[in-house]
């Protein structure tokens, strides 16, 4: 069998299938299909499919919806990452600051798996305030749990780097906060897993600061940046302010002085246009 006969056989089979499909379509619809697909038969019995106006409208709707969803996700994700987002506080580790209603009232009976629970407090988590890592004692921060990277934890900063803090377990253990770390605790000592369990946490784990209470309505307020009296702030001996920018003795920590904007600009220009003195000189042999 040569190629021409094979080609003619395939064309005949294709035309037969086209006629069969066209006949069944007429029987089912009692008229030539003109809704989703329109079958056109030319002189050489070749078919072509063209979408109708309804199909075009459907494709256009799917396209526009997909683009809107992608744009919305990108905008919202960027806004939540750089600016902030609202979040509910689960658990009782921050009582009495948060979730007092969960204990004092049983009006709302929701399961723990509910996405929205009216008996829980909601706060505004500001990621913008946490971008420079300039925290104060008393700040309520949101960070990645050092025990589970998929869990977010909200606690209060009790001590910063360079401070000496006594644990709240009554064993009079004093801990010096290393550089780049802080000491966090829950307000409810009897029901909190915090730095008393896993020690100081790195500042790099913190990605947000709780600045306002937005739910319930009667508790809406701006959160104070201070350690409450019931957390015994006298347990902390502040050493960071006294040693800031001072070169200590050998073997002791040195707290670097933050660079000014002009210094950062000079560093940037240095890397963009390095000086000739620091360039590697290749000796020339004559």
Active-site positions read 93, 155
For residues 168 and 171, give the distance between their C-alpha atoms in angstroms, rounded to a whole number: 8
Q: What is the pLDDT of residue 210?
A: 94
* 251-258 contacts at long range (C-beta below 8 A, 24 or more positions apart): 253/162, 253/178, 253/179, 255/161, 255/162, 255/179
Angle 138-141-144 (CA atoms, 0-180°, nearest 5)?
145
97: DSSP letter: T
Sign of CA dihedral 272, 275, 279, 284: positive
For residues 286 and 157, give the distance between their C-alpha atoms in angstroms, rounded to a whole number: 66
Q: What is the pLDDT of residue 87?
A: 92
CATH number assigned to the domain with residue range 84-241, chosen from the 4 options 1.10.630.10, 2.10.109.10, 1.10.3720.10, 3.40.50.2300: 2.10.109.10
- For residue 250, give both structure tokens: 């050998």
* pTM as predicted: 0.60
Residue 277: exposed, middle, or buried by beta-carbon count in 10 A (0-12, 13-18, 19+)? exposed
Per-residue pLDDT of the chain (286 residues; tens, 9 = 90+): 555 666 666 676 666 666 666 665 655 555 444 443 444 444 444 444 455 678 888 888 888 899 889 988 998 988 988 999 999 999 889 988 898 766 544 444 444 445 567 778 899 999 998 988 889 999 999 999 998 889 999 999 999 999 999 887 766 788 899 999 999 999 998 889 999 989 999 999 999 999 999 988 888 999 988 889 888 888 888 874 444 433 333 344 444 456 677 777 777 777 666 544 444 343 444 4
- 85 SS3 class: strand
Residue-range domain boundaries for the chain: 3-77, 84-241
The dihedrals phi and psi of 276, each to the nearest 5 degrees, come to -70, -25
């Amino acid at each position: 069998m040569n190629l021409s006969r094979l080609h003619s056989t395939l064309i005949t089979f294709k035309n037969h299938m086209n006629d069969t499909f066209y006949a069944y379509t007429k029987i089912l619809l009692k008229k030539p299909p003109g809704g989703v697909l329109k079958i056109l038969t030319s002189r050489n019995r070749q078919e072509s499919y063209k979408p109708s106006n309804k199909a075009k409208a459907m494709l256009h709707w799917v396209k526009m919806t997909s683009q809107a969803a992608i744009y919305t996700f990108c905008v919202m994700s960027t806004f939540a990452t750089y600016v902030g987002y609202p979040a509910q506080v689960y658990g009782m580790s921050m009582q009495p600051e948060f979730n007092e209603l969960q204990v004092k009232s049983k009006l709302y009976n929701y399961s723990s798996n509910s996405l929205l629970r009216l008996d829980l407090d909601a706060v505004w988590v500001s990621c913008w305030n946490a971008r420079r890592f300039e925290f104060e004692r008393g700040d309520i921060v949101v960070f990645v749990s050092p025990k589970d990277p998929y869990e977010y934890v909200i606690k209060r900063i009790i001590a910063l780097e360079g401070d000496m803090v006594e644990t709240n377990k009554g064993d009079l253990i004093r801990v010096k906060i290393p550089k780049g770390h802080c000491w966090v605790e829950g307000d409810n000592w009897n029901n909190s897993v915090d730095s008393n369990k896993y020690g100081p946490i790195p500042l790099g784990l913190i990605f947000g600061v709780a600045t306002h209470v937005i739910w319930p309505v009667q508790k809406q307020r701006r959160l104070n940046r201070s350690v409450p009296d019931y957390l015994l702030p006298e347990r902390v001996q502040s050493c960071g302010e006294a040693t800031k920018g001072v070169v200590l003795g050998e073997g002791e920590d040195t707290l670097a002085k933050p660079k000014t904007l002009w210094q950062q600009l000079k560093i940037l220009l240095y890397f963009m246009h390095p000086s000739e003195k620091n360039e590697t000189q290749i000796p020339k042999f004559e």
